[in-house]
Structure 1
Amino acid sequence: MAGLMSTEVAENFLKIVDATQVKVSELVSAEDKSKLVSYGNTYLKVSERLVSALVTPTQTHNWLNISLSNTEGKVFMVGPQVTLENIPRLDTTNSSVDIDLIGIAKNNNERSAAVAFMSYNTMENLLKPDFFNTSNDMIKTMMSAVISATLPKTTNTKLTKPVNFTLKHIREFDPSGSLVCVYWNISEWIVDGCSVLKTNSSYTVCSCDHLSTFAIIMQTSRRESESDSLMELLNLVCVIVGLVFFSLALLTFALCQWSPGVNNVARINICISLLLAHLLFLLTQRFLSLIKPLQVLCAVISGLLHFLFLSGFVWMFIEAVLLFICVKNLSQISSKKREVLSSGFLCVIGYLVALVVVCVSVGLVPEGYGSEDCWLKQDKGFIWSFLGPVCVILALNTILFIKIVITLNSTLKKLNAEVSQMKQTKIMVFKTLAHCVVLGCSWILGFFTNGSKVLEILFLILNSQQGTFIFLIYCVFNNEVRLLLNLPACSFL
């Protein structure tokens, strides 16, 4: 067939076969393994023969690019007069291969050889990861595009050295999962002759001693998946509770009449930023299956979340600055705020800083938004566009808190002797601890949650309950609010 077909006819047939691949997978039931395997094998065999028809003799070397709707690839041919010492890496969008084609050609009487490297973007719909026969307790996920490498029109196909495939991960990497390099053996995925040479969160390098059809499959424990379901339920309940208390805090700040010495602008905007962020994140996760296929919408949502969470942190820092001013100027709190930090100026700073960070991030790495969860992608360290500012703000808050304690302690020594030292100490400790929790201490746990379910649950609860903390500290335990509601005053505030 391949020897009698012109390259033009082969190209046309290849386009037709490629176009029917997705339609075939949609017509076959996911449970009908025999049909899926049969269609998958047929598609691979026909594609291999059509690509073989595209290989033409050459005296030196020659390239051929293949770019179709669901398939892409490279064909490289070398002849007896090739001057290259090593062939360049053959790559597609999500994969690449390093093969010693020069050495293979030298082992052929014709001193020529060709390699066809193909990447099938939708082949996993036919050759499913569940066809990797391991323990039923494991969940299998296809982590790469299905690729194939063959040596068309090459007499001696024996490899002179192992072939290395670099496969980019097409889904979020789970650190708890186990990655394996597999190849397709007629009816199932197996690992014989292939091993993981190198891996990270973005890609995996597989080394194989033969050519075939390959992929990366990740295995995760089904028990962990059930645990994740419980985590999702806990997250849903905690976030909803937090949203309720954010709303109650905002109502309290809006409806209660505060004394002129109290500036709630930072607290109000913290509530607004985090309320919108948690609400948007909650809705996104609830409708993720509908949002994820819309890549632009998913990227926009991740950008909005980036902005809202960052603005929440900026407002946390502003609240710490206001607290420092209060302690530094106990005798003129309100006037000092009005002179130096007006509400309008604070609003500009509170949102402009976050907006600038997001705009710079979009300008530098526009493809960094829109992960599997519609959040920031891990590629190229893009997550540090969020973690970097967070670390800076947490560090500045820590410095401010230390300064506040030192300043407050110095001020207490100068107070009237009739003031109870114990009461003032309680105020100092409580205020510092309360602000530390509200202004981001819970986020520090986020850096240490990897591999620890206890820390992950603790982080989830503390982070989702920031609205609860704000409502308790500034509303329920605030004497001004309690007097307005005719409630007894708190002895420690």
Structure 2
Amino acid sequence: MDQQLKNNKDVVLPEAEVSGVGPRARSIRVGSEGDGDTGSVILGISDHLVSSMVQPNQNQTRTTVETSTVDLSLQVIGPGSHDDNAPLSAKGQTMEINLQDIAKTNNGSASAAFMTLNGMENLLSHQYFKTENQTEMYSDVFTAILPSINTTNLTDPVNFTIQHKKPPPEDHFLEWLNRMCVIVGLFFFALAIFSFLLCRWNPKINNTARLHLCLSLFFSHLLLLWNDKYVEQELACTVMAGLLHFLVVAGFVWMLLEALQLHLLVRRLSKVQVIQRDGLPRPLLYLVGYGVPFVIVGISALVYSDGYGTTEAEVCWLSRQRNFNWALTGPVIAIIGLNWILFCATLWSLRPTLANMKSDVSQSKDTRLIVFKIVAQFVILGCTWFLGLYQGNLFFQLLFIILNSQQGTFLFIVHCLLNKEVREEYMRWLTCSCGKDRSVRIMRIDLT
């Protein structure tokens, strides 16, 4: 094919023919030392294939080809066209080139292509480059092509922006701290879940949102501890990534519902209304709490099913290709923003109550307790997740890990341990268990 394209430069090929070169590079099996000759041949073929996509006398066009093996951006300008110098992108890398300047010395037309082929990193291994220093490739192999260009000198520089294929190595201390904090948080999530399910609560209290918030976060945190164990199993990794996406989004939706119910409860209390049962109806909570995540994950899977699986960080998660990670980041940011608004509105509704609190010694303990509950509720509603925007700072990294892993701890303390009825239920359980142990010991003594 390469020789045929060299002999017939006027042939024009469709995009589907060009994308077919990718599987060849991906299917070739080579050793760790790579195969530079094969890589050079495939790059030469791809060069001629891309050049064949440029039609004679073509006006200004931009073509994008995205498949599982090829990522290509092609820009063509003709006489009289006005190029906006928008960068060409391929798999996260970008190329900025001034085509207007090239067209001035090329009969008024110019074209440029930027392409990556999956599998080229196997052929052009770092072992292929013989250097004195230790060499390691951190990015994908990309190709820049200037089809049908007569000039060999470019007056303006061409700027390439390259992304690392592998993320920087993680801090082992932070990784250990995160794992330990998550395990502690899972323990308190489990205590809260059992308390919500087994304790006898006041009929006016609606714990539906809190229970399902605990369930969603418990299972998502549990799976996050194991999402690097199935990277070698494609189907299992894809299922785990999709399930994690659903659970994390569900957790944040339940946080939003809890924030909304808290705000409605405070508003009713401030108006001295009789509360038959606090919170929204259960069917509505279930519909929103699990329906919204199901719709988000379903649409995401239909749009780009390959976005679930093994990532560059060697975990089962959402891919960054085609900005697919925004299927999670977008809803999370929106919910965090709404929770901030609801939390501030709730504090504003509590303003008269907080202002009228007495400052004597008898009230100081209650004041400290209320302040603690406010801070704890801030964590429970996920408002501290905004710290994820400042992960370049070690202090904010530590704060992010400690606070967000302990949502279950704060939830258990505020809604279970500080609840008088629940504490009495705990005491009954302990009394019953101690009474059974005592009766067993007495029976053993009698038998002896």
* TM norm structure 1: 0.63
Partner SS state of residue 392, structure 2: coil
1:438 matched residue in structure 2: 380
User: What is the distance in 1 between the residues matched to 2:142 and 2:182?
Assistant: 39
Q: What is residue 404 of structure 2 aligned with on the other side?
A: 463
Residue 103 (str. 1) matches residue 104 (str. 2): yes
1:149 aligns to 2:161 (yes or no): no
Q: Name the CA distance, whole Å, in 1 between partners of 2:27 and 2:109.
A: 35
Matches of residues 2-401 of structure 1 in structure 2 within 5 Å?
A: 5-6=7-8, 19-24=23-28, 27-30=29-32, 32=33, 35-48=34-47, 54=52, 60=57, 70-71=69-70, 83-84=79-80, 98-99=98-99, 100-106=101-107, 117=113, 119-122=115-118, 123-128=120-125, 140-142=137-139, 146-151=142-147, 156-162=150-156, 164=158, 195-196=159-160, 204=161, 216-218=162-164, 225-227=169-171, 229-260=172-203, 262-288=205-231, 290=233, 298=241, 301-322=244-265, 325=268, 329=272, 336-338=275-277, 341=278, 345-346=281-282, 348-349=284-285, 351-352=287-288, 355-356=291-292, 359=295, 370=307, 372=311, 374-375=317-318, 379=323, 383-401=329-347
Q: Where does structure 1 lack aligned partners over 5 or more consecutive residues? A: 107-111, 165-194, 197-203, 205-215, 488-493
Q: Percent of aligned pairs with the same residue?
A: 25
Kept in 1, the 8 Å contact 2:18–2:46? The answer is yes
> d(CA) in 2 for partners of 1:162 and 1:457?
45
- Cα displacement (A) at 1:253: 2.2
1:482 to 404, 423, 431: 423
Deviation per residue, 1:188-223 (Å, 9 max, x gap): xxxxxxx45xxxxxxx4xxxxxxxxxxx253989xx
RMSD: 5.0
Measured after TM superposition, the shift of residue 278 of structure 1 is: 2.7
Which amino acid is 2:262 matched to?
E
Matches of 1:20 and 1:266 in 2, distance apart? 52
Deviation at 1:464, TM superposition (A): 1.0
Paired residues of 2:213 and 2:251 also in contact (CA < 8 A): no
Quick one: distance in 2 between partners of 1:438 and 1:390?
A: 12
Distance 1:49 1:407, change over 3 A: closer
Distance in 1, Cα, partners of 2:319 & 2:49: 40
Aligned partner letter, 1:400: T
Superposition deviation, residue 246 in structure 1: 0.9
CA distance in 2 between counterparts of 1:461 and 1:441 reads: 14
Q: Alpha carbons of 1:476 and 1:429: their partners in 2 closer, same or farther (altered >3 Å)?
A: same
Give yes or no for contact 1:117–1:150 (8 Å, CA) kept in 2: yes
Partner AA of 2:123 in structure 1:
L
Conserved 8 A contact 1:242-1:464 = yes
Kept in 1, the 8 Å contact 2:216–2:247? The answer is no
Aligned amino acid, residue 152 of structure 2: K
Question: In structure 2, what residue type is equivalent to 1:466?
Answer: Q
How far does residue 14 in structure 1 lie from its aligned partner after superposition?
8.0
Q: Would the alpha carbon gap of residues 220 and 435 (structure 1) be closer, same or farther in structure 2, given more than 3 Å must change?
A: same
Higher strand share: 1
* C-alpha contact (below 8 Å) 1:18/1:71 kept by paired residues: yes
The whole-number CA distance in structure 2 between the counterparts of 1:364 and 1:346 is: 27
| Alpha-carbon distance between aligned partners in 2 of 1:134 and 1:384, rounded to the nearest angstrom | 46
Structure 2 unaligned spans of 5+: 429-448
* Residue 463 (structure 1) shift: 0.7
Query: How far apart, in 2, do the equivalents of 1:219 and 1:74 lie?
Result: 19
Alpha-carbon distance change, 394 to 296 in structure 1, aligned in 2, over 3 angstroms: same
Whole-angstrom distance in 2 between the partners of 1:399 and 1:56: 58
Which residue identity does 1:395 align to in structure 2?
Answer: I
Aligned 8 A contact 1:120 1:147 in 2: yes
Question: 295-304 vs 239-248, which deviates more?
Answer: 295-304
How far is 1:50 from its partner?
A: 6.8
| Maintained 8 Å contact 1:86/1:102 | no
Q: Deviation at 1:263? A: 4.3
Of 391, 397, 412, the match for 1:450: 391
Deviation at 1:320, TM superposition (A): 4.7
Check whether the contact 1:120–1:146 (CA below 8 A) recurs between aligned residues: yes
Deviations 1:337-375 (A, max 9, x none): 42xx466x1551475277458747977997589474635
Aligned to 1:192: none
Larger RCO, structure (CA 8 Å, separation 6 or more) = 2
* Residues 255 and 381, structure 2, Cα contact 8 Å, conserved in 1: no
Q: Secondary structure at the match of 1:257?
A: coil
Contact persistence 1:129–1:141 (CA under 8 A): no
Secondary structure, aligned partner of 1:486: helix
Cα distance in 2, alignment partners of residues 251 and 4 from structure 1? 73
Q: For residue 443 of structure 2, what is the aligned residue in structure 1?
A: none
Distance 1:93 1:218, change over 3 A: closer
Q: Which amino acid aligns with 1:315?
A: E
Structure 2 length normalisation: TM-score? 0.68
| Counterpart secondary structure, 1:233 | helix
Provide Cα deviations, 1:390-416, integer angstroms capped at 9, x if missing partner. Answer: 212222212212432532553x56xxx
Residues 36 and 128 in structure 2, CA contact (< 8 A), matched pair in contact too: no
SS in 1 for 2:164: strand
Partner Cα distance (1:64, 1:428) in 2:
60
Aligned-pair CA distance for 1:16: 8.3
Say which SS state the counterpart of residue 138 (structure 2) adopts.
Answer: strand
User: Distance between the aligned counterparts of 1:126 and 1:246, measured in 2?
Assistant: 49
